[in-house]
Amino acid sequence: MKTLTPQDATAWMAKLSDPKAWQAFLQQSQTAPFNGAGMLPGPLSQDLAVLIEPATLTKLQSDYVQEFSALWQKLASAQPAEVGDKRFSGEAWKANPLHAFNAAAYLLNARFMMAMADSVSAAPKVKQRIRFAIQQTIDAMSPSNFLVTNPEAQKKLVESKGESLAKGIALMLADMGKGRISQTDESAFNVGGNVATTEGAVVFENELFQLIQYKPLTKTVYERPLLLVPPCINKFYIMDLQPANSLVRYAVEQGHTVFLVSWVNPDASLKDATWDDYIENGAIKAIDVVREISGKDQINALGFCVGGTIVATALSVMLARGEKPAASVTLLTTLLDFSDTGVLEVYIDEDQVARREASIGRGGMMPGRDFTAAFSSLRPNDLVWNYVEQSYLKGVEPPAFDLLYWNADATNLPGPMFCYYLRNMYLENNLREPGKLTVAGQAVDLGRIDVPAFLYASKEDHIVPWKAAYESLNLINTKNRKQSRFVLGASGHIAGVINPASKNKRSHWVNTETPADADAWLAGAKEKPGSWWTEWAAFLAENGGKEVSAPRSYGKGKYKPVEAAPGRYVTKKAA
């Protein structure tokens, strides 16, 4: 039996993208049923089998044969197999024993292949990559994804007299023109029209970002302004979708003077921009402008996802320069310690990072479409194959959904900045080490950040695991730990964050204690119904200072309104 190394895993996964292997597999699957060899092209199954203890493999094969025999007996007696999967929950799958058998056989093969992946001799992170690759294959080969094996699509084809197929082909051709799968009716949304509609004005801009100041909705406001820094790998309006689910509007309604960074969607003119540029000319510049406009030495700063990593780095740099610009910091689904990066680890190793550095690390662009494809691959059944089935096989146009419209609105990143982030955060986890990184001329030490922190994570987040987000408590404000708070919300990376208080949906967990260990925190936490936003509002109120009259105009002095919010940077599409 062979032990799998990271290099073996990289080579093995590369085989999954070999067109010849897939062509042979597709030909095989059309002429013969699946068997104990599994669902992957022959050479790939053989490669996997040699990584498993012979006794374990024999047991897996024996169990497989028994279960497959039971399925075959049900088919022979015209009894529909039981299938507990939402992809096969339609009546058409149950009405015909053969269709039910196909679905059940597919699920059996899927379990068999995943059991093989779980049994390989490899380190946990290497095994995770194998599991991910096999899961991608399994999801792609679902009988619901092919017209010849999807009874619901066949029924619709007959009932519509071919119209559903014609419409599906038209939708597929339109998506081929876009270079991506449509997940929503994109014609239903317009940035600045019915998303990103909170009233405000751009009061500053440079080559990296526009700074938006929002109009107050209360007569008085807290004296310290609030600066929101969204992730630069997405557009800011995830925080300002529509009035009912806008985090921006909620903060304004709570009596805060809100500013927001709207990152540019970079083109070739920014191909040489670095991580230092995003810190110095991005976050630090935004902080300075907000302080000048407000006339306050200290602000409250919020960073979302990589925006939180940028904010924490910027604050550390400013503190090293002798400045203390923040009264508090809020980090939403943010990693500062990258020891556990969840399923994204499958895309990050020395070989893959080195290839990116060679191609774009010294100048170039990381295309936004690559981000979209990578994140969709993390939930392929929901974000890829569901739309293949509904749109292409059944001819059903996707419904209008603001969050998915935002998800498809891709952004590029400058190659040098992106490669620095990949290597120093995801690959080498250097940010957590005091003095390991030098940014904007200063040694970065997150321990310098000694202000109250509000940390939020989502319990089912597959991009920023909540326990990894909790580790930020062990890096910032450690001497005054009781000033900081950690709140855990239900759902995932985006839906957990964008959970309006007014809808009273989902739940969140709170614990005033902040032990070093995340499991210890959860053991003492109390679950509360509804949104975490109210917890955050209370934290901001504690750190907002006294109440003063709301500003009557945008900007101040040399910082005059440039254009109305949401500004032109956010409307720029990725090439």
Domain that residue 33 falls in: 6-145
Reported confidence tier of residue 328, pLDDT bands at 50, 70, 90: very high
Are 392 and 489 in the same domain? no
Q: Are 208 and 277 spatial neighbours (Cβ–Cβ below 8 Å)?
A: yes
**151 inside domain:** no
Q: And the tokens for 230?
A: 């969204």
| CA 149/CA 172 separation, integer angstroms | 19
**477 inside domain:** yes
Report, as an integer, the average pLDDT of 476-500.
95
| pLDDT of the residue at 47 | 60
Q: Parallel, antiparallel, or unpaired: how do β-strands 326-332 and 299-304 relate? A: parallel
Are 383 and 465 in the same domain? no
How many Å separate Cα 29 from the centre of its chain? 33
**195 inside domain:** no
Are 543 and 445 in the same domain? yes
- Phi-psi group of 506: left, alpha or beta (phi > 0 → left; psi -120 to 50 → alpha; rest → beta): left
Q: Are 164 and 394 spatial neighbours (Cβ–Cβ below 8 Å)?
A: yes
How many H helices and E strands in the chain? 22, 17
Q: Which of 157, 305, 353, 425 is catalytic?
A: 305
Are 293 and 424 in the same domain? yes
Closest CA to 485 of 444, 452, 509, 507: 452
Q: Are 455 and 486 spatial neighbours (Cβ–Cβ below 8 Å)?
A: yes
Label residues 138-172 b or e (16+ Cβ within 10 Å = b). Answer: bbbbbbbbbeebbbbbbbbbeeeeeebbebbeebb
Q: How do residues 173-207 score in pLDDT, each as one tens digit?
A: 999 988 889 999 999 999 999 999 999 999 999 99
Q: And the tokens for 255?
A: 């009596």
Are 171 and 74 in the same domain? no
Are 347 and 495 in the same domain? yes
Are 510 and 536 in the same domain? yes
305 is catalytic: yes
Which residues have CB under 8 Å from 385's CB, separation 6+? 139, 140, 142, 144, 145
For residues 83 and 275, which has the higher predicted lDDT (pLDDT)? 275
| CA 175/CA 171 separation, integer angstroms | 6
Are 354 and 472 in the same domain? yes
Q: And the tokens for 185?
A: 């009716």
Residue with tokens 């493999």: 57
**152 inside domain:** no
CATH number for the domain including 440?
Answer: 3.40.50.1820
| CA 239/CA 307 separation, integer angstroms | 12
For residues 24 and 462, which has the higher predicted lDDT (pLDDT)? 462
Are 436 and 372 in the same domain? no
**119 inside domain:** yes
The amino acid occupying position 403 is: L
* pTM metric for this prediction: 0.89
Q: Count the neighbouring beta carbons within 10 Å of the beta carbon of residue 475.
A: 18
pLDDT at 40 over 80: no
Name the β-bridge partners of 263: 209
Report the number of distinct structural domains present in the chain.
3
* Residue 96: C-alpha distances to residues 61, 82, 93, 143, 486 (Å): 28, 12, 6, 14, 52
**313 inside domain:** yes
Q: How do residues 111-129 score in pLDDT, each as one tens digit?
A: 888 888 888 887 787 888 8
Reported confidence tier of residue 342, pLDDT bands at 50, 70, 90: confident
**95 inside domain:** yes
Q: And the tokens for 291?
A: 């302080």
Dihedral over Cα of 43, 46, 50, 51: its sign: positive
Residue 41, phi then psi, degrees to nearest 5 = -50, 145
Name the β-bridge partners of 365: 414
pLDDT at 394 over 80: yes
Are 106 and 213 in the same domain? no
**282 inside domain:** yes
Are 455 and 567 in the same domain? yes
Where do runs of H (alpha helix) occur along 398-532? Answer: 402-408, 415-421, 466-470, 518-523
Are 139 and 171 in the same domain? no
